[in-house]
Structure 1
Amino acid sequence: MSATAYPAECPAGRNRLIVLMLLVPGLLALLCTFLLPMAWLARASLSAGGMTAFGSELTLANYRAALTDPFYWQVGLNTLWLGVTVSVFAVLLGYPIALFLARTQSRWRGVLTALAVAPLLTSAVVRTYGWMVLLGDRGVINSTLAALSLTDAPIRLSNNSLGANIALIEILMPYAILAMLAGFGRLNPALEEAAAMLGANRLRVFWRIILPLSLPGVLTGALLVFVLAISSFVTPRLMGGGRVFVLGTEIYSEATVTLNWPLAAALAMILLGIFSTVIVLYQRALRGLEG
């Protein structure tokens, strides 16, 4: 009986070389599409004000202008409040949908999941214009209320922060659903069955088992929606009617209207700093939940 021949194991050095070769394309793409533009942005934020993005003199005047002006402080607070509001409501509205899709055994589960994320197939610009039609002073909602003699004057649902919040919640809710679906893999029906056998009612099972196990997915969904909300531009610009000032709209205005590119770059770096801070807080909260 002949001995079975096994292939010789690859040397450790060869394995490292293969791993490095596999990483090179991704690292080059990351360098070209993220690190180099961020370096350019950081350098531009240190230039003197005006249309010249790369002045010979390095200065912190742009950061001083952004951090000492009460207007930009208010813009920053508006941006944070928008992100918190949208992420909270998107998670609250998307949680039951994600939990149902994660637990259902229906043969239509794939179709229902596709329907839940189908809005992502439509451009955010198109969906924002749809909300303008619905929430405008002469939109569907106000026209219906007036036809039913329920209101004497149009309710201001657009051209303000309320309209921007409503539109962003609907636009970003599919992202929350997808993130929570990915994080609900820790849910174990056996734990719920054991709790029910011990006399726990449905509410107690949800509060003591389902919710704690699903919190990592909830945090991931909230983080994703928050980051997308505070960096949004189109929806606050259109739904706000020029009355909603967030960092995204101000960066655009400084870069294209006043042509102050260094100040726009400084505001963008401040927004990036907010991103980094939120991600650090998310990592700490996640470690606390898993610890």
Structure 2
Amino acid sequence: MSNEVILRDAPRTVLPPEGGKPKAKGKSWTSFLKLAPGLILLGIVFGVPLAWLLRMSFNAALPGGLIQEGVSLNSYSTFFEASFNLELIWRTLGLGVVVTAGAFLLGYPLALFLLRTQSRFKSLLLVLALAPLLTSAVVRTFGWMAILGDRGIVNSALTGMGLISEPLKLANNELGVAISLTEILMPYMILTVATGSSRLNDAVLEASATLGGNAVRTFFRIILPLTLPGILTGCLLVFVLTISSFVTPALVGGGRVFLLATEIYDQAVQSLNWPLGSAISFILIALFAGVLVGYQRLMARLDWNRS
């Protein structure tokens, strides 16, 4: 029997198309239907209010708090034409950087300690580190007002010890706001670093010690790279919460610290200029989007370097 007959009579194997296994019919629709309830809920809870806010930003504000329906970029142009508003953007971003750096410098060592400790009280220590999250930010803000005030605990203690003759200006300024927000948001940094560093274990550290790595080299070559995803996530969370915070800057700042969030409140509640307040809100959302894009690129580069 010739080879042609053998090849002709042999059973044919149908190869799947390029890209892997052929998709089953209706599978995509099934996946969409599973996601539909969550997508609808997100659209109602987040999409509708944002759409209404976006529409409001294109209206025109009239004297007396009246609003003229229409499509106009007057609110956006009014915001960017004022140099004071541009300073608000830089001041808000600067405060976010300072608070994020402070939360990292104070929270990262605590997170590593909680992650590496072998104490039987480890669970209790973790609860104590995250306990401030169980207290309202308003309550903690009032606590910092009592601590940083001219007659607060810090100034009273320093005056009583004779170290200062006049109270330090720790409140009603950006310094007090930065100190307060650093403490208030530091638990988020601790939580994200501790939960995002699962790849750091005893085996890796023992391997580094076996190969002759000292404490400094082990930290920069092993510990820091393995905890970097948690660090980036914690910095993102703290930065976003800082630039969007209103209560702490308004109370600790004493009405003297002007940020984007406080300006939104002033325009919407005090000046009754809802279109301008809505426009500032979307400018703040644009800053969020820019930070998220940068975060995703850093994470993608980090994953690429690992691979």
Q: Normalising by structure 1, what TM-score?
A: 0.92
Q: Give the SS at the match of 1:49.
A: strand
Gaps of 5+ in 1: 1-10
CA distance in 2, matches of 1:16, 1:76: 43
Maintained 8 Å contact 1:83/1:230: yes
1:31 maps to which residue?
A: 43
Matched, 1:59 2:48: no
1:134 Cα deviation from its structure 2 partner = 0.5
- Which structure has the larger Rg over C-alpha atoms? 2
1:107 Cα deviation from its structure 2 partner = 2.5
1:284 maps to which residue?
A: 297
1:158 maps to which residue?
A: 171
Maintained 8 Å contact 1:49/1:262: yes
1:12 Cα deviation from its structure 2 partner = 4.9
1:260 maps to which residue?
A: 273
Matched, 1:42 2:54: yes
Instruction: Kindly provide the amino acid, as one letter, of the partner of residue 42 in structure 2.
Output: L
Deviations 1:172-227 (A, max 9, x none): 00111111122101224322211211111111101111101111110100000000
1:144 Cα deviation from its structure 2 partner = 1.2
Q: Which runs of 4+ in 1 moved over 6 A?
A: none
Maintained 8 Å contact 1:128/1:167: yes
CA distance in 1, matches of 2:120, 2:160: 42
Q: How does 1:110-129 map to 2 (within 5 A)?
A: 110-129=123-142
Maintained 8 Å contact 1:52/1:261: no
Instruction: Kindly provide the amino acid, as one letter, of the partner of residue 114 in structure 1.
Output: V
Deviations 1:217-251 (A, max 9, x none): 10100000000000000000011111100000000
Maintained 8 Å contact 1:42/1:265: yes
Change (3 A) 1:17 1:105: farther
**Equivalent residue in structure 1 for 2:237, among 208, 224, 238:** 224
1:8 maps to which residue?
A: none
User: Which of 1 and 2 has higher RCO (CA within 8 Å, sep 6+)?
Assistant: 1
Matched, 1:81 2:86: no
Q: CA RMSD in A?
A: 1.6
CA distance in 1, matches of 2:104, 2:66: 42
CA distance in 2, matches of 1:33, 1:86: 30
- What is the count of residue pairs matched by the alignment? 280
Gaps of 5+ in 2: 1-22
